Amino acid sequence: MPPQSLHHRRTHNLLLIARLLSLRDGVSPFTLLLDSLSQSARPLLREYIRRQQSGTRMIFVSFETAVAPEGVSVFIKARGKELVELQREIRGAVGSGNDNGGGSGSGTRALLILDNLNTLSTTHPQSLTLFLSSLLTPGMVLLGVYHLDQPVPSPSSSSSPHTGPQPLTLLRYLSTTLVTTHSLPHVLLRKRHKDVSLPPPMWGLDEGVEGVLVGLGSNAEMVIEMEYRRKSGRAVLEWFVIGEGKGKEGAGKDEVILLEDHPLWRVSEKVRKGEAGEQEESNGIDGVTFELGITERQRRVREGVQLPYMDAQREGGIGGGGAILFTPEKEVDDFDEEEDEI
Amino acid sequence: MPSASVLTPYLTRPNRTHTLTLLTSLLSSPSTWLTHSLLTRHIDDDPNAPILLLSLTHERAFHSDGLRKLGVPLQHLDRSGKYTFLGIADLPLMGGGAVSDVVLGAVESARAAGDGRGLLVVIESPDILLQTGGGSYSGVMDLVLRVLEVVMPRPASYYLLPHRLTYPTCRMSEHTIVSVNVDEALMRDEEHAAFVIGLGHVARRVFGLRGLETGVARDVSGVLRITTGGAEEGDVDGGKEVLYFVGDGGGVEVFERGEVRGR
């Protein structure tokens, strides 16, 4: 990948994440949030709900949430219900919104949140994708959470084993944006290990210690790994820190920055960043053992250098445009005038 | 009450309602002492709140003994009908959905006995239901989640919320404590793992008990790890690990690693 300037990437991707979080202009019809015990996607769901425009109808389909989050318009309890019934209820919730919406009809936007796709993957591995696609009508945006660490036990009742692809594989395929959540302390420690070529640390169940379920440093500040799939098929990958400055009074709670811009990430990144910056200025020519470009400091020093004969080169200067000036010196230029006469 | 200054801030009741606290234990590191500590703290905070204790591993007398040692006036609670105990003998384990009917019925009547005060439900080892055929993973998970929900008086199905959220006034926080076993052999079972991890995603706080990495010690029983669960909002910290020691008499000491203890 050609070195893209960080500044350009920052501007572009921050705009993109703002659009993705507010789900403006149908930018991503189906966003799949992948979380784990290390970092739950719930804070992210709250962020999504908070960022919606006021006219949006928010339908929360709960598989594991006991209390409706703030800002949700319709709260549907989905556990134990048949897919058909659930589908009808969701349709009803969307429909009633259109009736109340004041005649704008299909203009009403709706956000549908499913807080746990594992349950459906367990009970309906085959019809899950069909169910989700049926919900994706124009003006509807789908947000689904899948717990990566929660196994999906195959239903023991079915006599023939399910031979199709795993539900998660299908979900990944179907989604237009994939967001994986991480905890900031974990990301930083993993990076520190990588910098000194240590094996990456593990948390929670991966620690391999019997009795450990959740890792230390879990569910702290949230880092998200975004994969946005454009219509062209090209994917945009980026890491963000969400809710930076939450603790500070007055600071915007919704602040989203690139992971690379996080002060703690930059601590050990500074050295490498400097090198990359210089390489960028030398137009990225590889394979030379010396520096072709110059740094900003070198450039400034060069500007300041006083070159000799500058006065002479000035237009209308001492010599007046190219005339040769000659001032004989007594000692060196010892001319014998008599010789000339001979 | 254990002299647990380290633990005290983590025992306080959450200020939000309908929260789940998850305790994970191993066969070698049982969590009963922690359940009792949490219960005691809860009763200290609100002596009149109703309590439902559902235990699939212990008898009524076991818990009564343990709580009495911590100074809980259990007889008083029992007499006023604020304390309900359900043992494994009270559950129709052979039937399919009957277990949840019994449990949910008990939760309903316990809540009714509380005169509108917040109900605390403690469920000890519901994972046993998975092993005994009392239900599948989704069935038992459903039971726990419904206990979480029954606590709140709400119309069923779905409802339209008004612009400003106004909850039915319940000033006391309702709370559920679930303890499960996470022995490695059990976690290899997909259903069991799915259940435990699913609870972790719903919990606001996870207390994990395990043995000491360096082996058995005479004066340390094990390690207690306290971490934030998926459902916690607001005050988050990176988690904490402390050591604990359960004495012969059932008294518990909790201390930091490397702390010098007066003996």
Q: Kindly report, residue by residue over B133-153, the tens digit of the pLDDT.
A: 767 888 888 888 888 875 444
Chain B residues inside the 8 Å CB shell of A112 = none
Is residue A204 one of the residues assigned to a domain? yes
Residue B111 has pLDDT above 90, yes or no: no
| CA torsion through residues B143, B147, B149, B150, sign | positive
Residue B19's pLDDT is: 86
Residue A328's pLDDT is: 76
One-letter identity of residue A226: M
Is residue A14 one of the residues assigned to a domain? yes
Top-confidence residue, A329 or A78: A78
Residue B228's pLDDT is: 87
| CA torsion through residues A79, A83, A86, A90, sign | positive
- Residue A312 binned pLDDT confidence (cut-offs 50, 70, 90): low
Residue B159 has pLDDT above 50, yes or no: no
Number of domains into which chain A is organized: 1
Contact A150 B198 (CB under 8 A): yes
**For A214, nearest residue in chain B (alpha carbons):** B227
Top-confidence residue, A3 or B40: B40
Kindly report the pTM of this predicted structure.
0.80
Residue B78 has pLDDT above 70, yes or no: yes
**Nearest residue, CB atoms, B206 vs list A74, A79, A213:** A213
Token pair for A221: 């500040």
Residue A176's pLDDT is: 92
Of A159, A170, A74, nearest to A120 (Cα)?
A170
Containing H/E element for B19?
strand B19-25
Residue A340's pLDDT is: 62
- Residue B172 binned pLDDT confidence (cut-offs 50, 70, 90): very low
CA A150, chain centre distance (Å): 25
Percent of chain A that is helix, strand, coil (3-state, to 5) = 40, 15, 45
Is residue A335 one of the residues assigned to a domain? no
Q: Kindly report, residue by residue over A249-307, the tens digit of the pLDDT.
A: 444 455 888 988 888 888 766 555 555 555 444 444 555 566 667 788 888 888 888 87
**Helices and strands of chain A, counted as H and E runs:** 11, 9
**CATH (domain of A111):** 3.40.50.300
Residue A244 has pLDDT above 80, yes or no: no
One-letter identity of residue A125: P
- Residue A313 binned pLDDT confidence (cut-offs 50, 70, 90): low
Q: A277 exposed, middle or buried (CB, 10 Å; 0-12, 13-18, 19+)?
A: middle
Average pLDDT over residues A101-114: 67
Residue B156's pLDDT is: 36
- Note whether A14 and A77 are within 8 A (CB): no
Q: Kindly report, residue by residue over A118-154, the tens digit of the pLDDT.
A: 988 888 888 888 999 998 888 889 999 999 999 988 7
Top-confidence residue, B148 or A332: B148
Chain A residues inside the 8 Å CB shell of B141 = 64
**How far lies A64's CA from each of A110, A117, A195, B216, in Å?**
21, 10, 39, 38
Of A28, A5, A4, nearest to A16 (Cα)?
A28
Percentage, residues of chain B above pLDDT 90: 30
| SS3 at position B116 | coil
Is residue A305 one of the residues assigned to a domain? no
Domain limits, chain B: 16-153+173-255
Percent of chain B that is helix, strand, coil (3-state, to 5) = 35, 20, 45
Is residue A302 one of the residues assigned to a domain? no
Looking at CA atoms only, how far is residue A93 from chain B in angstroms?
9
Is residue A284 one of the residues assigned to a domain? no
Is residue A338 one of the residues assigned to a domain? no
Average pLDDT over residues B247-259: 84
Residue B207's pLDDT is: 94
Looking at CA atoms only, how far is residue B210 from chain A in angstroms?
5
Q: Kindly report, residue by residue over A52-81, the tens digit of the pLDDT.
A: 888 888 999 999 988 888 888 888 888 888
**Nearest residue, CB atoms, B230 vs list A42, A68, A220:** A42
Percentage, residues of chain A above pLDDT 90: 30
Residue B164's pLDDT is: 36
Residue A101's pLDDT is: 43
Instruction: Count CB neighbours of B212 within 10 A.
Output: 13
Alpha-helix runs per DSSP H in chain B: 8-11, 32-45, 60-69, 74-79, 98-113, 128-131, 137-150, 184-187, 190-202
Q: Where are the beta strands (DSSP E) in chain A?
A: 30-35, 57-62, 74-77, 110-114, 140-147, 177-183, 222-229, 235-242, 256-258
Token pair for B110: 């316990």
Token pair for A127: 């019809």
Contact B182 A72 (CB under 8 A): no
Cα separation, A207 vs B165, whole angstroms:
41
Q: CATH 3.40.50.300: does it fit domain B16-153+173-255?
A: yes
What domain range includes position A51?
6-152+167-279
Containing H/E element for B160?
strand B159-160
